[in-house]
Amino acid sequence: MNASEFRRRGKEMVDYVADYLEGIEKRQVFPDVDPGYLRRLIPTTAPQEPETFEDIIKDVEKIIMPGVTHWHSPYFFAYFPTASSYPAMLADMLCGAIGCIGFSWAASPACTELETVMMDWLGKMLQLPEAFLAGEAGEGGGVIQGTASEATLVALLAARTKVTRRLQAASPELTQAAVMEKLVAYASDQAHSSVERAGLIGGVRLKAIPSDEKFAMRASALQEALERDKAAGLIPFFVVATLGTTSCCSFDNLLEVGPICHEEGLWLHVDAAYAGSAFICPEFRHLLNGVERTDLTGAFRLDPVYLRHSHQDSGLITDYRHWQLPLGRRFRSLKMWFVFRMYGVKGLQAYIRKHVQLSHAFEALVRQDTRFEICAEVTLGLVCFRLKGSNQLNEALLESINSAKRIHLVPCSLRDQFVLRFAICSRTVELAHVQEAWEHIQEMAAKVLRAPGEGTAEMQNAWLRKEERRKKKSNGFI
């Protein structure tokens, strides 16, 4: 394909994308396909001779779209929102064209420098303390990690190295393994499974701190675990505080946890993968309070000691490869630049506020129906709710909702209760969609409540499926 064909095909693709997103509401949000559907539709080997773009774009509708879960449908209320916008897509096109691998400053100076400045823009939008910013002097500074999971892992590895070096400096006879055997990291029992995984990868114990009745990690429970572990000769070194948990968007108490970490010399990592963006709104910024009162090193300014070889960052040049696990990295800050500018801070705040308003609207609808209960405080765009009654009943409700495929939800487990999560996700979701979804849920509930009760074969099967699913649980969702 040469440039002139790309001009033509690219424009066709732009129209296809616009058509897709304009018409996404009319597509069934969750696909009808069974596992293995796709293999039957395409050849078993790559073609020897080139095919045409027409062949492929026809197959997109025939082969791909029938198997797509439409994350940007206004009827998608599952998991959490994943960012997408037209400005972001335009930036991505440019990112693909430049196609640099920004592992060092020289590999593409603009790629490194725009990221540094965009992270400062973000840091200021979040009202982070000055020490978190790169600024002119290059004292702090942020980095875009590929995923939240990697951010947690990188922080844990940095903390592991820091504490190991400190202990070895004091007792040079200590081996790394001897230190690692005693290290303990902590997170709330509501933390995302990627935190547990970071512990496994890093080869250190990770202990779950029982959360309080609001699903928040509090000082007392953390302190108790620390005392017990220190008494047993273990070495606490790392705490993950989650702001906006995956299961129910609860918030660990940073104002309590921060000072403890400071006192005990523990690295405090803040995981705000979902809720973080809401902190650009002044009315939600208080949820991040505690960042200022502690002198945590972590969160955004990842200490690169671990990931460094013998390279020294100068004040002006950051070689981001030392701040992340992979060597390669794309020109991702272009997306931030386009989105920040084309929305403006006010536009982004409005976007978040709309989502929060919609979740409160849904919450109000649920509260008006006495058959239902709200299971956790609604702070941002997530509502956890259930039918008053057994887990089996709620399992059946979810099953009937997701089988009907008019909307899509996923469940979570809160203190052994099977709970439905209603997450405001789509960029284009409006009050009418939320109302329609609620009416649909009510209909499904009526059907389930009319159905033969627990103890029937149907319910037994649902229960078995649930148990199976519970076993497969591997993150905040079930």
Segment 193 to 252, residues that bind its own copies, using CB under 8 A: 193-194, 196-197, 200-203
Rule CB under 8 A: say whether 170 interacts with its own copies.
Answer: no
Give CA–CA dist 34/37, Å, rounded: 6
Considering only 26, 45, 169, 231, the residue that binds its own copies (CB under 8 A) is 45
Q: Which residues contact 470 (CB under 8 A, 6 or more apart)?
A: 413, 478
Rule CB under 8 A: say whether 66 interacts with its own copies.
Answer: yes
Rule CB under 8 A: say whether 58 interacts with its own copies.
Answer: no
Region from 237-245, 320-328, 378-386, 458-466 binding its own copies, contact rule CB under 8 A: 320-328
Considering only 58, 214, 293, 311, the residue that binds its own copies (CB under 8 A) is 311
Sign of CA dihedral 13, 17, 23, 25: positive
Rule CB under 8 A: say whether 334 interacts with its own copies.
Answer: yes
Considering only 130, 139, 181, 439, the residue that binds its own copies (CB under 8 A) is 181
Considering only 74, 77, 116, 287, the residue that binds its own copies (CB under 8 A) is 116
Residues 270 to 309 in contact with its own copies, rule: CB under 8 A: 306-307, 309
Angle (CA) 385-389-394 rounded to 5° is 55
Rule CB under 8 A: say whether 265 interacts with its own copies.
Answer: no
Region from 165-173, 190-198, 390-398, 435-443 binding its own copies, contact rule CB under 8 A: 190-198
Under 8 Å between Cβ of 209 and 225: yes
CB closer to its own copies out of 190 and 253 = 190
Rule CB under 8 A: say whether 368 interacts with its own copies.
Answer: no
Q: Indicate the length of the chain as a whole number.
A: 478
> Which residues, in sequence order, are bridge partners of residue 370?
none
Considering only 25, 63, 207, 210, the residue that binds its own copies (CB under 8 A) is 63
CB of 135: closest distance to its own copies in angstroms? 9
Rule CB under 8 A: say whether 312 interacts with its own copies.
Answer: yes
Rule CB under 8 A: say whether 90 interacts with its own copies.
Answer: yes
Rule CB under 8 A: say whether 171 interacts with its own copies.
Answer: no
CB closer to its own copies out of 198 and 437 = 198
Considering only 16, 27, 351, 458, the residue that binds its own copies (CB under 8 A) is 16
Rule CB under 8 A: say whether 166 interacts with its own copies.
Answer: no
Q: Which of 363, 367, 375 is nearest to 413 (CA)?
A: 375
b (16+ CB within 10 A) / e for 150-171: ebbbbbbbbbbbbbbeebeeee
Rule CB under 8 A: say whether 111 interacts with its own copies.
Answer: yes
Considering only 149, 247, 379, 394, the residue that binds its own copies (CB under 8 A) is 149
Considering only 148, 260, 361, 449, the residue that binds its own copies (CB under 8 A) is 148
Region from 67-75, 261-269, 352-360, 457-465 binding its own copies, contact rule CB under 8 A: 67-75
CB closer to its own copies out of 167 and 334 = 334
Under 8 Å between Cβ of 422 and 385: yes
Whole-angstrom CA distances from 446 to 2, 120, 366, 387, 450 are 58, 51, 14, 11, 6
Give CA–CA dist 364/361, Å, rounded: 5
Considering only 113, 229, 292, 443, the residue that binds its own copies (CB under 8 A) is 113
Q: Give CB contacts under 8 A, 24+ apart, made by 469-473.
A: 470/413, 473/413
Whole-angstrom CA distances from 402 to 13, 30, 76, 100, 387 are 31, 8, 11, 42, 16
**Which tokens sit at 7?**
């001009």
Under 8 Å between Cβ of 323 and 307: yes
Q: Which of 242, 266, 261 is nearest to 252 (CA)?
A: 242
Angle (CA) 17-148-425 rounded to 5° is 45
Considering only 25, 27, 28, 87, the residue that binds its own copies (CB under 8 A) is 87
CB closer to its own copies out of 47 and 452 = 47
**Which tokens sit at 115?**
């990221």
CB closer to its own copies out of 89 and 255 = 89
Region from 98-106, 388-396, 438-446, 458-466 binding its own copies, contact rule CB under 8 A: 98-106
Helix 431-450 to helix 391-404 angle (10° resolution) is 120
Rule CB under 8 A: say whether 7 interacts with its own copies.
Answer: yes
Rule CB under 8 A: say whether 137 interacts with its own copies.
Answer: no
